[in-house]
Amino acid sequence: MAAKVNNHHDTDLAESHRVALRLADALMTQPGDIDDVLAGDLRKHFTDEQILELTLDVMKWNYQKVAVALRIDAEVVPGELTDLEFDTDGHWVRPK
């Protein structure tokens, strides 16, 4: 699945999934690339509310980009990579 997502332009993923991934790519790398074609494709598969939810979900997982770019992000555990763990409600559990 990771390979399909990584190469979503040329896979057998559902068209709605490919369009959602195009939105995610644009939001994360070039928001100015969200043009009338992408907006129209999104509206073929999603309601306005769903498009907003997709947008907010992508932004939620990318909020740290500004802090990383400015080199002001704090490591969760200094010097170590941190696994992401979530509780049963989907909330991030801070490592001890």
Residue 38 lies in a domain: yes
pLDDT of residue 50: 98
Residue 84 lies in a domain: no
Residue 9 lies in a domain: yes
Question: Tell me: the pLDDT tens digits for 16-44?
Answer: 999 999 999 999 888 888 999 999 999 99
**CA–CA separation, 54 and 87 (whole Å):** 22
Instruction: Report the predicted TM-score, pTM, of the whole model to 2 decimal places.
Output: 0.70
Residue 75 lies in a domain: no
Residue 90 lies in a domain: no
pLDDT of residue 9: 84
Mean pLDDT of 33-59: 96
Tell me the pLDDT band of 72, cut-offs 50, 70 and 90: confident
Residue 88 lies in a domain: no
User: Sign of dihedral through CA atoms 5, 83, 70, 67?
Assistant: positive
For residue 15, the enclosing domain spans 2-63
Q: How many domains does the chain have?
A: 1
Largest Cα separation within the chain, whole Å, is: 46
- Residue 42, Cβ neighbours under 10 Å: how many? 21
Residue 31 lies in a domain: yes
- Is residue 86's pLDDT more than 90? no
**CA–CA separation, 70 and 10 (whole Å):** 34
